[in-house]
Structure formats: structure tokens, C-alpha cells
A and B are shown apart, each in its own frame.
Chain A
Amino acid sequence: GEDVEQSLFLSVREGDSSVINCTYTDSSSTYLYWYKQEPGAGLQLLTYIFSNMDMKQDQRLTVLLNKKDKHLSLRIADTQTGDSAIYFCAESRPGGYNKLIFGAGTRLAVHP
């Protein structure tokens, strides 16, 4: 099927690390993305990873890709209250016109 699956909710304490997980469906997907959506706003691209990479680090963000298991994760170090948002995983499939297939999103709540 077309489903990209994510857990719906994650709660962390401020200063801790957050790990958001995603399982995608198409092993031929070329790029995998993490988008952030704050209330009332559009989606903001956080980071992406090419399918031939295992890991990508960008400041507080670390993306891990397990292509064998079709599993993607986003780790946010030193999570802050401003990180509270919905995080969407998305896959881009080859042969199409940059079409993105999104998961349902993980709501991250950061508490003091």
C-alpha cells in the first residue's frame, strides 16, 4: 500500500532527546524527508536524506535510515519548548514528478 506510518504522539521533558520514528513502504524511494508543522502554519522542511545514506546530522537533528527495514528516525537533541509541533515523515518515489507521500504526523509535546 501507500501508507507511511508514524506513531501519533510523543511527550518529552525539556532538555532531553526526542526520537520520532517512521516506517515507509517503497524500498525504491529515493529521498526521505522530515517536515515540521506548527499550529496554523504550513509545513517547513527540516531535513532530508538520500536513500544511499545511513545517517545525516544537522546541528541538533540526526536522521537515521535503515533501508533494509524501511525505517527512518529523527532525533532532536536538547529538545526545547519551541520544538513542540507535528513532525511529518515523507518519501519521494522515483519516476514520478517529485511526488511526496506523507505519514499522518507525530505530535511532539515538550514539557518543563
Chain B
Amino acid sequence: EAGVAQSPRYKIIEKRQSVAFWCNPISGHATLYWYQQILGQGPKLLIQFQNNGVVDDSQLPKDRFSAERLKGVDSTLKIQPAKLEDSAVYLCASSLTQGGGWETQYFGPGTRLLVL
């Protein structure tokens, strides 16, 4: 079974530029998550999709971050404009259904973003 795919793996941009990340979840997984992991910290949920609808975006900085999941499969996360504090690893995860707390979230390798 193929895992969660993310691209690019690394990105370096200057502040105020725009950047986009792509995620392809495990086939058949209804729920998709984007996490931000700042160096030395644990992952923090930015947004969660159930199929192509948003169920939690309470920690997404909506003035600069946006995300979409067209057709309930792939997803893109965009930052516009980027700030220095956005430097982090952006992790995508997916799970089979919304489910209960027991449901496993499968993580991709992440996109490491450096904002200069």
C-alpha cells in the first residue's frame, strides 16, 4: 500500500513570497490533515478535511494560509505572503474515516520550508 505522498520535500523562499505544498493521501482515506511542526516542537494541526469539506481550521492563520481539497482526494496548502516564523516542516496525514480517537493517522515525510 502506497503511503502519503508530499511534494516538494524542501523549499527555500524569501519572506513575502508565496509557496504551495501538495499532498496525496492514501487511496480511499476520507480524512486529510495538515500539521505544522516548528523545530523543537510537536506537530500542530492547521486544518482537517473530511472528504472535501473543512471540519477544523481553528488554528489556521487565515490571513495568509489557505488550503483546499478538491474532489476529496489531493490537497494543497498555500502560504501567501510567507513570514520568517513560517519556517517549519509541513506534515500531511490521512486516516480512513473521521472515526474515533483510535483511528490511525498515517503521516507523509513532510515538506521542510525555510523562509529567509
Contacts and interface: CB of A to CB of B under 8 A. Distances in A.
Interface of A: 4, 29-31, 35, 40-45, 48, 50, 88, 90, 92-94, 96-100, 102-105
Interface of B: 4, 31, 40-45, 48, 50, 55-56, 91, 93, 95, 98-110
Contacts of B42: 4, 88, 90, 102-105
B51 to A, nearest CB: 12
Contacts of A100: 43, 45, 105
B103 A98 contact: yes
B91 A45 contact: no
Nearest to A93: B101
Contacts of A35: 107
B109 A41 contact: yes
19 contacts: A4-B42, A31-B102, A40-B109, A42-B93, A42-B108, A42-B109, A43-B93, A43-B107, A97-B48, A98-B31, A98-B48, A98-B105, A99-B48, A100-B45, A100-B105, A102-B43, A102-B44, A103-B42, A104-B42
Given A43-B43, A104-B42, A98 B109 contact: no
Contacts of B98: 97-98
